[in-house]
Amino acid sequence: MNNIRDSGDFWLASARCCIHILYYTSVIMIRWSKIVMFLVLLHLVCGSELCSCSPLVYRWKIDFSLSCLPVGLDVGPNKGITNLDCDVVGDDASVTDLKPIAITSYQLSELDMNLQVFKSEAAQDLSLTSGDIVEFRSETAVNHAFYSGGFQAIFDAENELGQSIRFTWILVFSNICELEPFVPGQSIGWLSVSVSYVVSTT
């Protein structure tokens, strides 16, 4: 009888041991699954590739029929451009005709990730009209380690009365690889995006 009781106790203890092993194994597996899920989510949130969203070459076609409003770009927190400020003003308060007939000068500036001017180009003594092209080669075309955070521009022009008009704009990129900030047909004030471009992702 003792042998039978001892044998029964042995199997009962073994069963309890197996139950405990299965329980703790399941707890460990659940914890590991949560950790794995956390790592996956972390990769999705933090592992996205950072891109310089600027074109390798900016190319705009001048169109004086356009203006800052309505906004000709997709702007927002989940877009390629997060912020845009565009304005056209006269040289002084007496200038009421803000429709240009010719651009006389411009300054184009590419901004770094701190939104500080990194590269700038200027041209003066111009007489650019609708249909003319303005082009700027991004630093990303020659320096793949550079990430552009935005762009700003100043255009000086004249109206029919020879009065001075200034067109300015500044934009900030989201730097999200999947989102292109410009597509053909979009515009910024007097400038339309005339061609598509290649985004630098290196």
Taking only the tens place, the pLDDT of each residue in 20-64 is: 454 444 544 444 444 334 333 333 333 356 676 678 889 999 999
Q: Are residues 95 and 140 in the same domain?
A: yes
Domain of 5 in residue numbering reads as: 1-47
pLDDT at position 105 is: 98
Q: Are residues 130 and 145 in the same domain?
A: yes
Q: Are residues 36 and 57 in the same domain?
A: no
Least confident range of 2-6, 13-17, 146-150, 172-176: 2-6
Q: Are residues 132 and 63 in the same domain?
A: yes
Number of domains present in the structure of the chain: 2
Q: Are residues 4 and 72 in the same domain?
A: no
CB neighbours of residue 74 within 10 Å: 16
- pLDDT tens digits along 82-140: 999 999 999 999 999 999 999 999 999 999 999 999 999 999 999 999 999 999 999 98
Q: Are residues 134 and 68 in the same domain?
A: yes
Distances, alpha carbon 188 to alpha carbons 61, 83, 153, in Å? 10, 12, 10
Task: Record the tokens describing residue 123, joined without a space.
Answer: 């041209």
Q: How far apart are CA 63 and CA 138, in angstroms?
A: 22
